[in-house]
Amino acid sequence: MKSRGLAVMNSKALFERYEFDRRDLRPNDVALDISYAGICHSDIHQAREEWGPSLYPMVPGHEIVGIVREIGPHVTNFSIGQRIGVGVFIDSCRTCRNCLRGLEQYCENGMTGTYNTYERDGVSIAMGGYCNNFVIDADYAVHVPENLELAGVAPLLCAGITLYSPLKHWGAQPGMRVGVIGLGGLGHMGVKFAKALGAHVTVFSHSSGKESDALKMGADRFILTKDIAKLKQYTKQFDLILNTVSAELDINAYLNLLTLDGTLVVIGLPGKPYSVNAGALIGDRRSLAGSQIGGIPEMQEMLNFCGLHNIVSDVEVIKSDYVNVAYERTVASDVKYRFVIDGKTF
Ligand code: NAP
Ligand code: ZN
Ligand code: ZN
């Protein structure tokens, strides 16, 4: 199957038009026409080799929503014309303890990413969603509720699930005081989900212009973090803090904001190690944890939750020729709140 998209050829290159072949449908495969693909900061980290060596040519994109065009003979869970979503991985070993629990993102043998990796055959480079079509094993795709506006759905496939999963795991609920650091693609989904789950939500942001948006999204409080010393006044006020920042951060200043048994969950992946002050952990039996996207069953649960609560991402829909600019604006924290590429413009 011919695919038209955008690729980078090395870590310093800009995006250019790129045509490539996708595999013919296997019996359990679904082919889809891509309606929208979100731009995640992980795409930028990988295109620019901020996490170590990448594979090129690279077609990034792991927030994919589209319409089923064709199905293989063994596919029973999708039919032609249905809405379909694909996220950060396209396969996993299917047999390890974590895969059997529907936690494919923690596959003991390594999940297969949507791009910047070899497929499970060990030969073909996986190509992501910055293009017009996709082929996916039906077991690794999800259904999209009919009532949700499609452009705003694309970011749910990474940004959405990446915040929904830790909020559920650490039990966000009424009475819980949740902090979200960084109001970007991930962070703004964290605000919407934490609010829908009934928690008291505080946004920590280094951008003064985002306050009114944060409150509109459902945040109860907005704290500007330009002067990190001022955070001291919020010491021991939070049960759960989710750090979605794509850059390095003084993690100790935030650990001190946790109450007894509070947890700070690391979600942002700047690629450099944190320095953690042991005293900040010991003092109130605090935990420093991490969380990675979510498995297929939880992705479906999240999308159903969004359907029920009418939750989508706030997006700026762009044409494919705007992606290079969109990368610069994302790095400058200047996006409200996720760029989404219109699949018809490839
Ligand atoms: P994004 O849209 O660029 O948002 C990141 C936010 O971090 C910015 O909007 C900004 O929020 C804040 N920020 C950026 N630079 C900062 C700085 N120098 N100092 C303080 N705050 C800064 O990125 P994203 O797509 O949400 O992704 C965020 C991070 O999560 C990335 O590192 C990405 O790779 C990672 N990620 C992890 C997972 C996972 O499974 N754990 C999944 C997807 C992505 P304010 O303007 O409000 O301060
Ligand atoms: Zn992502
Ligand atoms: Zn596995």
Instruction: Look up residue 128 and give its amino acid.
Output: G
Q: What is the pLDDT of residue 272?
A: 82
Q: 205 and 215 in one domain?
A: yes
Q: How far, in Å, from the CA of 103 to the mean position of ligand 3?
A: 8
Q: 15 and 148 in one domain?
A: yes
Q: What is the pLDDT of residue 260?
A: 98
Number of domains in the chain: 2
User: What is the C-alpha separation between 144 and 136, in angstroms, rounded?
Assistant: 15
Ligand 1: which atom is nearest the Cα of residue 105?
A: 40
Look up the pTM and report it: 0.98
Please report whether residue 136 resides in a domain: yes
Q: What is the pLDDT of residue 136?
A: 98
Q: 337 and 276 in one domain?
A: no
| Residue range of the domain that includes 212 | 159-290
Beta bridge mates, 299: none
Q: What is the pLDDT of residue 345?
A: 98
Query: Residues with beta carbon < 5 A to ion ligand 3?
Result: 92-93, 96, 99, 107, 109
Q: Any idea what the CATH number is for the domain that residue 17 is in?
A: 3.90.180.10
Other beta carbons within 10 angstroms of residue 67's beta carbon come to 16
The closest ligand to the CA of 106 turns out to be 3
Average pLDDT of adjacent 10-residue blocks, the chain of 346 residues: 97 98 97 98 98 97 98 98 98 98 98 97 95 98 98 98 98 98 98 98 97 98 94 97 95 96 96 89 96 98 98 98 98 97 98
Q: 140 and 32 in one domain?
A: yes
Q: 231 and 97 in one domain?
A: no
Per-residue pLDDT tens digits for 232-259: 999 999 999 999 999 999 999 999 999 9
Q: What is the pLDDT of residue 271?
A: 77
User: What is the C-alpha separation between 170 and 159, in angstroms, rounded?
Assistant: 18
Q: What is the per-residue burial (b if ≥16 Cβ within 10 Å, else e) of 94-130? A: eebebbeeebbbbbeeebbbbbbbeebeeeeebbbbb
